Amino acid sequence: MALPAATTLLAWTRLLRAADVAGQHCAATLRTVGLPPPEWYDVLLALERSGAQRPRDLQTRLGTEQYALSRLIERMAKAGLVTRTPCPDDARGHTLALTIQGLAMRAAMWPIYAEAIETALGARVAEEDRAALARLLAPLAEPISG
């Protein structure tokens, strides 16, 4: 098997570093004002948009590892942002739903999160480059087959 080209390694390193820097900035910005991390926002938004769903479906939608999502859901349920109800189709499973508090938390998080995203990306990269970046990253956001 051939090793990746130097440009592939450079792009890979920069992609991971950029994601880490942006993620840390957004998490720190939310934390500074007493709000939960971006991962909570992602769950709240997914439940708001798609309604109640099984954790495995949420896991697929978010691309999150099962163990990490389980811990996250546990914390969010304790905070009163989501509820778990037994799944009517499978007694072993449960369905997650957004609570009124969860809806309010998602709404409270968005202006702060949006500003952090703008600071981390929008203010640092020109519009035409953001469009090109989005286009370039699209195939990398799809699952790898085979």
The pLDDT tens digits of the residues spanning 30-60 come to 999 999 999 999 999 999 999 999 999 999 8
| Two structure tokens written together for 146 | 């085979």
Phi, psi of 63 (to 5 degrees): 70, 35
pLDDT > 90? residue 112: yes
Q: How confident is the model at residue 142 (pLDDT cuts 50, 70, 90)?
A: confident
More confident residue, 110 or 1: 110
Pairing of strands 82-86, 94-98: antiparallel
Q: Do the beta carbons of residue 133 and residue 88 sit within 8 Å?
A: no
Domains of the chain by range and CATH? 36-121 (1.10.10.10)
* Backbone φ/ψ region at 35: left (φ over 0), alpha (ψ -120 to 50), beta: beta
User: pTM score, two decimals?
Assistant: 0.89
Q: What CA–CA distance (Å, rounded) separates 46 from 40?
A: 10
∠ CA(145), CA(66), CA(88), 5° rounding?
105
